Structure 1
Amino acid sequence: MDILAFIMEVEAITLSGALSPGPLTVSAASLGIKSGKKAGFLISLGHMTFELPLVLLIAAGVSIVAQSFRSILSLIGGIFLLYFAFTQLRSLRKASIDISEGKGNAFLAGIMLTALNPYFIVWWLTVGTKLVMDSMQLFPLGVLFMYILHVWMDFAWLVFIAYIFYKGSRLNEPALKVIMGILSFVLIFFGVEFIYSAFK
């Protein structure tokens, strides 16, 4: 495989995963309402903080061991998502929403929603593992080259989502509460789905 073909492969596969609706995208929208592009950047940074070591571990050959932890990740991840969603719903009971709250949570949310997402882990242990293997055939630092091609799209997408919802949050208070309420229920859906998959 030549470099151009490899770049096209990584970008196409990454695009299909990054743009799909999931907990990271929903959290970028939710926290973006409060702090705009900064939330999207911090979530992406938290995401990368967990993802890069995982990619390097896959390159080192530990994917079979990691697969055995899928059910545990599903259960813990589901509980975390429910906690995240109900905390947000509880904040909507206030008379007014302080959009300056919660700015420090974005980085942690990026780490937790990545580390405790079993579908993310499975993606890297299947589709992602092929990208790692292909990258290792290019040159010694092929894995890092592949990861740069991959991760910039995560940053671009999550920052974009956070910014769009931040601009939309300049709406009146009732409309803002409705938006945040809908996002919270979407997170609850993912949380229940994660917990269900842990026992399936």
Structure 2
Amino acid sequence: MPAELLALFTTAFMVGLSGALMPGPLLTLAIEESTRRGAGAGPLLVLGHGLLELLMLFLLLLGLGSFLAQPTVSRVVAVLGGAVLLWLGTDMIRSAMAGQLQLTLPGDKDNLPALPPRPALRTVTAGGLISLANPYWLLWWATIGAAFVAQAARLGAGGVAFFFSGHILSDLGWYSLVTAGVAAGRRVISQRAYRYLIVACGLFLLVLGVLFIAAGYRGQISL
């Protein structure tokens, strides 16, 4: 049993890390939030993301996977998720173009005003909402995630715990590294470059939102 649990933990960690490393809405939001809150943005976003995934885990244990895999459901999720991504992307671009993003963090030695971070609860909530807006996140849980949960459940409560721990730790490690890197780098690149970075991230979300809506409309959402 211990060997099986370790194998499950390791596999869940590697599969989760492979997904976390791919560019997506949560990575884009992590970059934007790190310009406001610094390195602490990563753990807060992953907390919101993880709470949503914990809820999904329990729902899958109750048999939700077969419902999410239905074509009509996946199409509706894609369209609604795309609409949320369009809204988030537009808000990021608007904030950057309006000059609401500053280069410094509280405690920097220069006198430039620092952008006040959003409330911690809002950052946590954003981590969950950005995941919920991504139809591929739901489809991953309806297919790959459901298969993992079924395997973990056969090992009992310990199996479920080891699976989820491995999965969420991959997200926590990666996004903490990303936000720490961006927070450190903001002191050596210009304010204009940071605004361009946020605009680029916003544009990425707009493109992703359009693609999600188009895929949902055509019924071509797939892993």
TM-score normalised by L of structure 2: 0.82
Distance 2:98 2:55 in 1: 40
Q: Does 1:119 align with 2:125?
A: no
Could you report, residue by residue, the CA deviation over 1:23-71 in whole angstroms, capped at 9, with x for unpaired residues? 1111101111221122111111111121111111112212112234222
* 1:176 paired residue among 194, 197, 207: 194
Asked whether 1:62 is paired with 2:77, we answer no
* 1:185 to 2:187 alignment: no
Q: Percent identity?
A: 27
- After TM superposition, give the deviation of residue 95 of structure 1 in Å: 4.6
- In the superposition, relative to structure 1, how do residues 116 and 93 fare at CA in structure 2: closer, same or farther (>3 Å)? closer
The residue type equivalent to 1:34 in the other structure is: R
Unaligned residue ranges in structure 1 (runs of 5+)? none
- Contact 1:63–1:125 (8 Å) recurs in 2: yes
Please give the alpha-carbon distance, in whole angstroms, between the structure 2 residues aligned to 1:103 and 1:126: 35
Q: How does 1:39-118 map to 2 (within 5 A)?
A: 39-68=41-70, 69-95=73-99, 97-98=101-102, 100-101=115-116, 103-104=118-119, 105-118=122-135
Deviation per residue, 1:122-141 (Å, 9 max, x gap): 11111111211111122334
Q: Which ranges in structure 2 are unaligned for 5 or more consecutive residues?
A: 103-113, 219-223
Residues 57/97 of structure 1: CA separation in 2 closer, same or farther (3 Å cut): closer
Shift of 1:166: 1.7
Structure having the higher Rg: 2
Cα distance in 1, alignment partners of residues 101 and 15 from structure 2: 38
Partner residue in 1 for 2:110 = none
Tell whether the 8 Å contact from 2:69 to 2:143 is kept in structure 1 after alignment. no
User: Which residue matches 1:138?
Assistant: 155
Asked whether the equivalents of residues 5 and 158 of structure 2 are also in contact (C-alpha less than 8 Å), the reply is no
Q: Kindly indicate whether the alpha-carbon contact (under 8 Å) linking 2:8 and 2:159 is maintained by their aligned counterparts in 1.
A: no
Where 2:97 maps in the other structure, the secondary structure is coil
Letter in 2 for 1:126: T
- Tell me the distance in 2 between the aligned counterparts of 1:84 and 1:175: 20
Structure 2 partner of 1:28:
30
**Residues 13 and 166 in structure 2, CA contact (< 8 A), matched pair in contact too:** yes
**Residue 91 of structure 1, CA deviation:** 1.6
